[in-house]
Structure 1
């Protein structure tokens, strides 16, 4: 999603290019993109000029929405052992709520802006 957020709107990006840049096996990336397409996050275009592109503006897609769609949260597995007698159950609930809140506010456009700012701050040093 981040890689596609860097591309101009509706500009297809080839899977092979994303896989190379993000160091993800292409077959695995195909599965991820298929799931994201089913979720309405990306679209695809066939042919020589084809590839994947965001279905909506990166300003409208939050990290939290993608995580929820892909079921990347712990889905309650880590909470299964938390009982009413667990002294940290309340703390973990607050942590979960805070994390969900943050991820629900961060858009891919914001991630791109932050990354671009970091890239512009990189100072090249030369040793003689």
Structure 2
């Protein structure tokens, strides 16, 4: 299952709003610039995210968008489903009625395991997890803080 561009933009917009949670509304122009999303496209995506209950809009001079709930309460999986639809490596897992090999497909168990693996990763990753991940130092940063170099053996 490939994540389409619209869904990638939606995820990046929510990530940017997560960075600013709960400090206040973020302007569309800031989100667009920070995440490399075309502003016109972003307006529609934010409208969709608002209708799905992930963001709130704020009017006025200090207006913009903010998360409707904490980043730890929004999973990547639920957003993908809301924006793009159900997970499936192949269409027949979503609607078995369309399968010509219904009930006798040797690949079905494989497709179901792949679907379950996708769901496991996406559903168990929240936007707070992504924020925390970005705060975790890399191995090179840990070594540098200890006075070592990532090029030198221990």
Same fold (TM over 0.5): yes
Of 115, 120, 144, the residue aligned with 1:96 is: 115
Deviations 1:37-65 (A, max 9, x none): 00110001011111100000111111111
Give the aligned partner of residue 147 of structure 2.
Answer: none
Cα 1:52–1:121 shift into 2, 3 Å: farther
Q: After superposing the two structures, state which structure 1 stretch, 5-14 or 34-43, moved more.
A: 5-14
Give the aligned partner of residue 34 of structure 2.
Answer: 21
Of 60, 67, 88, the residue aligned with 1:54 is: 67
Q: Partners in 1 of 2:86 and 2:133 — Cα distance?
A: 23
The count of aligned residue pairs is 123
Structure 2: stretches of 5+ with no match in the other structure = 1-13, 93-97, 145-154
Larger Rg: 2
- Look up the SS of the partner of 2:69 in the other structure: coil
1:107 and 2:126 aligned: yes
TM-score (norm 1): 0.82
Structure 1: stretches of 5+ with no match in the other structure = 124-128
Give the aligned partner of residue 2 of structure 1.
Answer: 15
1:40 and 2:53 aligned: yes
- Look up the SS of the partner of 1:96 in the other structure: helix
TM-score (norm 2): 0.69
Shift of 1:13: 0.5
Q: Looking at both structures, which has the greater relative contact order when contacts are Cα pairs under 8 Å and sequence separation is at least 6? A: 1
